[in-house]
Amino acid sequence: MFIIPPYIRFALIAAGIIGGTALWIAFGFWYGFPFLLAGIILLLGYIFLGTVGPAAKAVQMQDFNRGEQLLNLTLKPEWLYSANRAFYYMMRGTIALSRKDLNAAEGYLKQADAIDVPTANEKAMLKLQLAQIEANRRNFGAAKKYLKAAKETNVKLPQITEQIDMLDTALKQSGQAKAAQRMGKEGHQMMSRGGKRRRPKGR
C-alpha cells in the first residue's frame, strides 16, 4: 500500500489549499476547485488516519524512536478512525514495552483493547503482549487469562502462534515450579514442627 510521508503530505495540503484559493481568486472558482479538493482530501486523511501508516513501517523495522516521532505528528488520536486508533495505541504500547516501561505499555494496550481491533492477528498480538506484561510481573493468573484470549482468536500466523506456544510453556513451567516450591515449604514446615517435639525422658 502506498503511504505518503507526513511532511510531504503537509506540503501537498498547503499547496492544494493555498494554491487552489489563489487560483480561485485570480481566475475563478473552477480553476482553483481541483486543487482545493485535493488539499481538503489530504487534510481529512491526515485527521482521520493520522500518521499510523508511516509509524507502522518504522516500528516493524524496530526503529522505535522514529516510530514515536511519527506517532507524535498525529493531530488527535481520539479523532482517528477506530482501526487506526487501535493500531496507534498498540504501537505506543509496543514502543513502551521496548523500553521496559510496563505501566505505560499496559495503559496503551488496554486502550487498544477497548477498541474493536479489526483482525485476528492484531487481536492475538494485543492479548499476547498483555499476557507477557502480567508474566513479567509474576501475575501468572492474569497472564494465563490473556493467553487464553489470544488462543481463542484462532490466529494462524506462525510468528504469533510460536510466541503463544513459548509463553504457554513458560507459564506451565512457572506453575510447576511454584507448586514444587510450595510443597517444599510445606515439607520444611512439617519437618520444623516435628523437630520441636520434646524427646521422651530416659529412665
CA gap 133, 127 in Å, rounded: 10
Overall pTM surpassing 0.85 (yes/no): no
Residue 156's pLDDT band, with cuts at 50, 70 and 90, is confident
Helices (H) and strands (E) in the chain, counts: 9, 0
pLDDT tens by residue, 36-76:
999 999 999 999 999 999 999 999 999 999 999 999 999 99
On whether the CB atoms of residues 81 and 50 are closer than 8 A, the answer is no
Q: Is the dihedral of CA 4, 57, 84, 156 positive or negative?
A: positive
Residue 1: its pLDDT value, please? 58
87-125 as b/e, with b when 16 or more CB fall inside 10 Å? bbbbbbbbbbbeeeeeeebbebbebbbebebeebebbbb
Considering only CA atoms, give the Rg of the chain.
27
Which of the two residues, 106 and 175, has the higher pLDDT score? 106
pLDDT tens by residue, 8-29:
999 999 999 999 999 999 999 9
Tell me the domain boundaries of the chain: 8-48, 61-118, 120-187
CA gap 36, 16 in Å, rounded: 5
